[in-house]
Structure 1
């Protein structure tokens, strides 16, 4: 069975259907779909997109990791965060099947490993091995699956701690894990995260920052890391690195890459959102 990794959908339902049709036309054997998170928000039809992926998952054909927009929906539904002016979550919030969709979404992992490939939405801190990253992701999953998940969401937001320490405990520990796996783009060589730069694929000249995957000695380099979240970076295909956010909602493309042979499948997308201020 083949596996296709798919980048950020962000509520672009028609383009998702087109991409899935292209995959079906190309595939010569059964396949599984793994989405890089941010299934919803910013695009024109978040509800239909979430329902589509949910249905595929119920059929055993797909799964997804959590992205920052997916977590934002959990907070909005529970009254912890207001909808932003640029959000397109209202149809989900008002949907009759909202609770079923939200319950499924909160039980999605932060990280998945398949045949030497680690899938996360944003990144992996350089001091984390793949095995440690998976264990840390499981800690967050256990909290989100627990009876205390709504109370935890109230402590989830914030940029600190910006650096990992094995001695972190409680909400600080889980927040640091979530920020790395759903928000990380740039960090220092020591792994201190920066969340200010959002609209560039490279750090300013002379800065101590660098893309998380270029930190020397990164402990997760033994696996191929697959990620989304970084539309300014665009499609990135390296021997042990796959960046899949090719800016679908910003007028770019929606991308899928086959795990086994690196086949790239893309569909073009209208500009649903202006690129300025994207996150």
Structure 2
């Protein structure tokens, strides 16, 4: 007949410090103070004969303070459990549970701090995600502009009589600079490459339009330097005085246009330098 096998039992002991701070040995019949310093009952009894305070923290052991075994000298130590010993054992168990609860509370505080940090990082990631979505929409609109042929795009009308003839060039240049500044906030290499290609295309288009504007200005200046003027239906000869006045006005206008072209060329050079810097940053 086989004997029944007994399964081993596992026990969890909730203990305080193992070593007594008076005899430096293993704690026997433990008693503790209010600061949870454990001692042997015999060691503490002999200690209290000389000093009425805790050997570790120097807290006075009197009846008014919540110290276990504060009146140890009045309680005889025996092997038989007495009501006082039972109450002390319950108090010891309560103290052990309090210490464990304090440890768990510390862990809970640490976990709360970690949760707060994770929430902050999640908020930052959400903001970054929204920013990337906005940049993607801008790039999508830019790609739609690139899909339109250059011939079908509206050409810029150049008239000498208008004061703001090159305002569209300035507006396009500012739009190029604005889109280039958005690259610093982009978080992906693909979006950065798309923006760089868009800027290069815009610069080439601006250069073509500037050349076209210069050609138109030269042709209009050459056509208006004749000796006849259009005054409705009939053509009348222009006197030398009127011709000289018109030529001076055209020369002033051409000088203004040349200054504006120089400023636009400077803006284009700056944008080219900025694109080169972005390409170098991307390669790094």
Same fold (TM over 0.5): no
- Greater strand fraction, Structure 1 or Structure 2: 1
- Greater helix fraction, Structure 1 or Structure 2: 2
TM-score (norm 2): 0.20
Answer 1 or 2: higher relative contact order, Cα 8 Å, separation at least 6: 1
